[in-house]
Structure 1
Amino acid sequence: MEGRGFFRPPGVSLWCPVWHKSPIRFEGGALVMTTRRLQRLIPLTLLLFLFPLLSALPAHAQTKTLYWERMDVDITILPDGSFLVEETQVIVFTSGTFTYGYRSIPTDRLTAVTDVAVWEDGQPCRWTTDEEDGEFQIRWDLLEPRQDSRHTYTLRYLVHGGLRYYDGGDQLWWKAVFPDRSFPVNGSTVTVHLPEGATAELAQAYFTEATVSGIGTSTVVFTAQESIDPGQEFEVRVQFPHGVVAGSPAAWQRVEDSKPIVNLLMGLLGGLLLVGGPAMLLLLWYVRGRDPYVEIPTDYLTEPPSDAPPAVAGTLVDEKADMQDVLATIIDLARRGYLEIEESPIRGLFVSSYDCIFRRTDKPDDDLLPYEKYLLRRLVGRRSGRRMSSLRNRFYTAIPKIQERLYNEVVRRGYFRTRPDRVRKAYTGTGTAILFVVFPASFCLMSALSQYTSTAICPMIGLGATAVTLIVIGRFMPTKTRKGAEEAARWRAFKRYLEQIEQYTDLQEATDQFEKYLPYAIAFGLDRTWTRKFSRIETTPVPAWYIPVPVPVGGRYSTSGGRGSGLSSPSPPPSLDGMSRGLGTSLDAMSRGLGKMLDAAGSTLASRPSSSG
């Protein structure tokens, strides 16, 4: 028997001799084996020698088998409320040698087990008892090692506090055949004797098909109608009139009887948190998280609705100061004359990598906003210019401060009462803190309430769902003022114009808008489509602040753009068509060049050392 009750084979020991010999030397040859080397080889040799034996041990242990020819249980309920259990186990040992057995009785539904006795074939055995981990264990030594034989083992013990007391009738529940076995029980009969004056009102068997006889009498017999497989149990229940035996409900019964109510309450609380928590948060968003409703008389605007810089407009529309706003500010500063951007790839032996130089012009920065001044200073420093590649793994430290100044700017302009990032952090931080508490609290609560309820995890699941909803909904909780909502509606109308400009105007006549609105297109995430649309128009002027890689044109080098064109007489701004012919590429060369520059700038400026997370 194993688990709740089983027999163990005797221990197996291995004896290995250790011998010592003289050093082995092969003089005049390649091999020299000293004593130290020999000592190193001895453990390896022993391991190789023992490996087949050790490998065979599991297979040897697996050959220990038995089966229960019968497991009959006789239960006598005594007038004081205790009951005497006598188990008769007829065991056939089919292979291997067994020296002892044991029986484990769960103590979660009784108060004590006493008066233990064990016999083998009618002869008393030496036995010991122990109680740990919620189980009362009886261990006995066989009279002698057993193998390939049939024997009868009788266990007798007295159970205290194992009955259930109800006004409608007292009850006996008992697992006569325990489930924790590795071998089958071919037959089983359970007999329950009631005290004098009591008759069985109800009798049922569970988990094993069985016949029941004796209802209405003082003796009830349960007979299994099938072989009881390993892991299968045979539990019986007998109810008889209340008051026949002495006693009152034990503490475990009060806990057991309260479990359905506690389970219901825990389930209801979990469901309330699971559904009600997110619902309340959605209501909170509906009341406090929505922007004021505004209407504007048009679906699109053909020009910026206010003097807000691109980064401020982008932050207002999506409520986030992100890398798009940083890049839009760089291009806007260049367009307004504070910067020039010159392509300057780093050429290698076989390949070249994209790079550019940010050059500071002489234009004073007195009229710049705080975030623009800070970005310009961190971009070029105190020098007149700086390579973009030199900002790799360095510029990232400036991004949080740029974002902070941008958020301060949208609050200063009256678009928000509170900085959007702080609102999001408040909700996200609260939800994350709840999750950090919920996970360990779940295990503690389940452990503390395991004997009272099996649904202690339900409130924690509901609370966890509420915390996740809090994190998600926090992204939408920043609220604009009425001024901010009206301004955002106008900027969205302008964004719609940039996104679908070809539907509202003739691109041939709007080429001057390419450079003018390029920073806004970047802030709104439309830079690729914006440059692609105008790259098809031959008359689109190249931005004067953008200096591409010089290429030979008619024996001379030309940049086809930038302020320093090298021309002594006034001339119209270069066009994308002229630039593309100078580069010897297609009309969308400018689009690809700007796109490459924006992509490289975005990844370079946001890059950070691996140690920075």
Structure 2
Amino acid sequence: MLRKLLIALLPIALLFSIAAQDDKSYSADRFDVDVAAQYDRSLLVEETVTFRFVGGPFSFVFRELPTDHTDGITDIVAGMDGTAWPQGTGPGQVEITGRDPIVITWHLSPTSDAVQTFTLSYRALGVVEGGEAADVLDWQALPDEYDYDIASNRTTVTFPAEAQLLGQPEVLAGKSEITVEGNRAVFTQGNLSAGDPLVVRLNFASGSFSETLPTRQIQTAAQNSRAWLWIVAAVATLVGGILLSFAATRPYRRPAVARAEQLLHKPPNELPPALAASLTGDATASVGWPHALGTLFDLAGRGLVTIEETVEKKWYNNAEFNLTYHPQAANLRPHEQELLDLLFTDKSGAPQTTVTSTEMGKLVTSSRWKRYTDRVKEELRQGGFVDKATEDGRNRVMIWGVAVMLFAFPLFIAAFLLSSFFGYWSLLLVAAVFTVGLILTLAGVSISTLSAGGAQQAAAWEPFKRFLREVSRGKAELPDAAYYDAYLPYATAFGYAGDWMKRYADSGNDRVPAYFRALSPDDGSMAAFVAVMVATSSSGGAASASGAGAAGAGAAGGGASGAG
């Protein structure tokens, strides 16, 4: 009994525990920064933060110091309430870890409902940059990231008396009042929300500081002086890649076959819907569900398949249909027989005479679907419409392209890791390598795998395909409504099934193909047939688809701050 009571009380205890943890907050009464610019271009920085802890307990305070835009940070001393703390990981000690950023963590004894002042001092090397026009001091006084409010901030920047300040100090990010008193600039502001930035700039007459420039500035200048090498390498790589892609695809380029502008109102020959649609599709004569659906309607028109509505479409359910196979002697092409086998045999290979539209949807998204697409492609090869050598060449070019793009990723990592030596100019070469890979891939994709005979067949069928498209869009008329039925397999294979049947319905002719039976022959037969078209097209869709902070200011300083 006691165990059951404890189990029942556990969620309540956890809820109170979570609420207790959330019932604490903190803010900063002040966040003051004193910056003393030194003649050697370094800065002596002292930060003083007074935190007000509400609730608790709190066990640590942290500060992150980025070292970018400096030559390093040294002489770090941290403490609390005017006392420097020794280094360590226990209460009353400060832990200093990391290189960029350097992380300073004050380890506290459990602290609740208290006000405590934390201090941090350090030297930031090589911050003041030299230039012909001016020496520039950029400093990010407040962290990049902090999740507490600050009631008051006072940032003071002092500089050598002999340094000549040019113009007024600037605030590059944030808002602050500025006053200049002799060799000191003071930036004050209040009521800061979490994350509000402060980046300041002071310009001095050139030569106000040491002639020895910051190491990073010298290094950047050296890197920029070699930028032309990376630019030349990148351009040479791009040019070489373009020439390579041209050479790799040239053997597979064939003269374009002239396109007939006049529409063709009947099929140019007896090529089946699936093959005709593949030839007039993309460059690879790919096969999708519309090709199979066109084949199905062609077989149904020849008496091998009937379609019967079993569940009428309602607002609360979809229409359902049975497809029934009627075996008979027929001169079937291999891809037609493959489709019948796909639909009317189960996974074990046993024959079945009936399949539902729902089951058919599952079949066309299964691994067995590939057998049909492979059979169509094989017929195209056997008919001389697709060139196997061109297919292999196309695949090779695409593999090269993908391989080159993948090679660009380790190059990017290497360039990033070595950026301190070479700078970011090396990324131009990485981008050029990736672009070459992309060019090769696109060049491969653009290669048509059709043979000369296949291209001629595609050109012959294109006017008829455009005619069916114009009819489905209502921009052309059929000479007789019976052609809606006769041309349905081709319109479906070309991808116009939905629009074709809607156009048929709009014609006012309620006749449906003989192989289709609706539940209500006298009411809505055409609507039911459109429903089967939508249902089968939707079921095969998957198969076809398968074939503001201050960091931008670029100044030294910043980082993160918080407590917990």
Distance 1:238 1:114, change over 3 A: farther
Q: 2 CA distance for matches of 1:154 and 1:328?
A: 76
Q: 2 CA distance for matches of 1:49 and 1:505?
A: 76
1:362 corresponds to which residue? 329
Q: 2:186 aligns with which of 183, 206, 224?
A: 224
Distance 1:524 1:163, change over 3 A: closer
TM-score, normalisation: structure 1:
0.57
User: Secondary structure of 2:387's match?
Assistant: coil
Q: 2 CA distance for matches of 1:538 and 1:140?
A: 84
Say whether the 8 Å CA contact 1:341–1:547 is kept in structure 2. no
The one-letter code sitting in structure 2 at the alignment partner of 1:188 is: T
Say whether the 8 Å CA contact 2:401–2:438 is kept in structure 1. yes
Distance 1:222 1:210, change over 3 A: farther
Q: 1:449 aligns with which of 416, 419, 438?
A: 419
1:315 corresponds to which residue? 278
User: Secondary structure of 1:355's match?
Assistant: strand
2:480 corresponds to which residue? 507
C-alpha offsets along residues 305-357 of structure 1, whole Å, 9 cap, x if unaligned?
Answer: 23422322221112332223223333434555xx4333455479x99842131
User: Secondary structure of 2:326's match?
Assistant: strand
Q: Is 1:57 the equivalent of 2:24? A: yes
Q: 2 CA distance for matches of 1:457 and 1:185?
A: 40
Q: Is 1:113 the equivalent of 2:86? A: no
Q: 2:362 aligns with which of 393, 400, 404?
A: 393
The one-letter code sitting in structure 2 at the alignment partner of 1:132 is: G
> Percentage identity across aligned positions?
18
1:256 corresponds to which residue? 220
Say whether the 8 Å CA contact 1:210–1:222 is kept in structure 2. no
The 5 A counterparts of 1:226-245 are 227=189, 231-236=197-202, 238=204, 241=207
The 5 A counterparts of 1:447-486 are 449=419, 453=423, 476-478=446-448, 480-486=450-456
Query: Displacement of 1:268 after TM fit?
Result: 10
Query: Displacement of 1:360 after TM fit?
Result: 0.8
Q: Is 1:372 the equivalent of 2:336? A: yes
The 5 A counterparts of 1:167-182 are 173=137, 175=139, 182=150
| Aligned Cα root-mean-square deviation (Å) | 6.4
1:411 corresponds to which residue? 381
Q: Is 1:325 the equivalent of 2:291? A: yes
Query: Displacement of 1:235 after TM fit?
Result: 4.8
The 5 A counterparts of 1:74-153 are 74-75=36-37, 77=39, 85=44, 107-108=67-68, 109-110=70-71, 113-114=74-75, 130=96, 132-134=98-100
Q: 1 CA distance for matches of 2:344 and 2:66?
A: 77
The one-letter code sitting in structure 2 at the alignment partner of 1:413 is: G
C-alpha offsets along residues 525-545 of structure 1, whole Å, 9 cap, x if unaligned?
Answer: 4556379659979999965xx
Say whether the 8 Å CA contact 1:266–1:458 is kept in structure 2. yes
Q: 2 CA distance for matches of 1:378 and 1:530?
A: 26
User: Secondary structure of 2:304's match?
Assistant: strand
Q: 1 CA distance for matches of 2:300 and 2:383?
A: 24
Say whether the 8 Å CA contact 2:61–2:106 is kept in structure 1. yes
Say whether the 8 Å CA contact 1:514–1:534 is kept in structure 2. no
Query: Displacement of 1:417 after TM fit?
Result: 2.5
TM-score, normalisation: structure 2:
0.61
1:188 corresponds to which residue? 156
User: Secondary structure of 1:388's match?
Assistant: strand
Q: 1 CA distance for matches of 2:118 and 2:533?
A: 88
Query: Displacement of 1:276 after TM fit?
Result: 12
Q: 1 CA distance for matches of 2:142 and 2:6?
A: 53
Distance 1:152 1:342, change over 3 A: closer
**Greater relative contact order structure (CA < 8 Å, 6+ sep):** 2
Say whether the 8 Å CA contact 1:311–1:329 is kept in structure 2. yes
Q: Larger radius of gyration, structure 1 or 2?
A: 1
User: Secondary structure of 1:188's match?
Assistant: strand
Say whether the 8 Å CA contact 2:80–2:116 is kept in structure 1. no
Q: 2 CA distance for matches of 1:127 and 1:541?
A: 91
2:557 corresponds to which residue? none
The aligned length equals 502
Say whether the 8 Å CA contact 1:171–1:239 is kept in structure 2. yes
The one-letter code sitting in structure 2 at the alignment partner of 1:191 is: F
Say whether the 8 Å CA contact 1:85–1:158 is kept in structure 2. yes
Query: Displacement of 1:250 after TM fit?
Result: 5.9
The 5 A counterparts of 1:581-592 are 583-584=521-522, 589=525
Give structure 1 stretches of 5+ with no counterpart.
1-32, 214-219, 552-582
Distance 1:292 1:200, change over 3 A: same
Query: Displacement of 1:292 after TM fit?
Result: 0.8
Distance 1:105 1:202, change over 3 A: farther
